[in-house]
Amino acid sequence: MADFKGKKVLVTGACGFIGSHLAERLVALGADVRAFVHYNSLGTKGWLDHSKAAAEMDCRFGDIADPDSVRDAMTDRDTVFHLAALIGIPYSYIAPESYVRTNVSGTLNVLRSARETGALVIHTSTSEVYGTARYVPIDEEHPLQGQSPYSASKIGADKLTQSFHLSFGLPVVTVRPFNTYGPRQSMRAIIPTIIAQALKGGSVRLGNLGPTRDLNFVSDTVEGFICAASTPQAIGGTFNLGSGEEISIGGLVDLIAKVMKRPLSPALENERVRPSGSEVERLLADASQARTVLGWAPAVSLEEGIRRTLEWLQGNTEYYRSVSYVR
């Protein structure tokens, strides 16, 4: 097990889905955790408002696109897990500039501050940067294809991170998760969308059923971040975190129906269909580098992960009252 006792870490985007799980895991490992939370007028800390571990974190409000608040949050930190980002592909069609401001300029702020402090940066990429697979399984040498403004902004952030390592010797590791799912994920994502609609009853309204995804339970993704920060040989590298298995959206509906022990009838909703040139048709990871260098491998099967996610959603329906389409 990685030794984080006494290590001073910062998690940007700690209020979000993966970030909150990661921050909790770091507390459990004994780290001195500072959580960077997006400032809002309600003073809420996202999912950390519902976390007992948050009492053991130093929560700082700010905006990743603001260099001053980023610099303040990064003071005296040894390691920065940079997860703060604007996600959601459909909304990036509407507000592309906001994705550049948050994902590109925000990452630049983290890198500049890290250059001042010498902190190790664990940068979060996404499998969306690969676009539709030109070959499978997808390794880290696969071409990057910006098929949506969101993916283009993440490619920009990835390249900036790489450039700071090559230009200035900044210690960085890029982690590229494939399709993380689990408790706390928003209704923008496919698994909570299917389950929440199924719990309400009736048909399950979806977009295209043909695209395939490589789905990974959130605890596995979190362990990938932990391994990346604990492996000196990883510095300067990029690592796919994926299961090496793919399933179509239609097949996912069938698997969720099996876990829920009820029939589910998917229905096409045009609003959910991505523009044809933007749809990523196939994602399937080659995560052999993560296994070889980081010593990481997923531990939770897709069926077990869906079962855990279903149980959590059934106990937390107040967060998923609406089953309308969320951009």
For residue 116, is it within any domain? yes
Is the pLDDT at 39 greater than 80? The verdict is yes
In a domain, 324, yes or no: no
Residue 260 lies in a domain: no
Is pLDDT of 150 > 70? yes
CA 280, chain centre distance (Å): 17
d(CA 117, CA 131): 34
- What's the pTM? 0.94
Q: Is residue 123 in a domain?
A: yes
Q: Looking at residue 73, what is its pLDDT?
A: 97
Domain with 36 in it: 8-181+217-244+283-299
Q: Quick one: CA dihedral 142, 144, 147, 149, positive or negative?
A: positive
Confidence of residue 277 (pLDDT cuts 50, 70, 90): confident
Report the CATH number at residue 32: 3.40.50.720
Q: What are phi and psi of 137, to 5 degrees?
A: -70, 155
* 270 domain-assigned: no
Residue 132 lies in a domain: yes
Q: Give how many domains the chain has, as a whole number.
A: 1
What is the band of 208 on the pLDDT scale with cuts at 50, 70, 90? confident
Is residue 300 predicted with pLDDT exceeding 90? yes
Question: How far is Cα 38 from Cα 12, in angstroms, rounded to an integer?
Answer: 9
For 14-30, give one letter per residue: b (16+ CB within 10 A) or e. bbbbbbbbbbbbbbebe
30 within a domain of the structure (yes/no): yes
Does residue 19 fall inside a structural domain?
yes
| pLDDT, position 268 | 67
% of the chain residues with pLDDT over 70: 94
Where b means 16+ CB within 10 Å and e means fewer, 200-213 reads: eeeebbbbeeebbb
pLDDT at residue 272 in the model: 64
Burial of 295 (0-12, 13-18, 19+ CB in 10 A): exposed
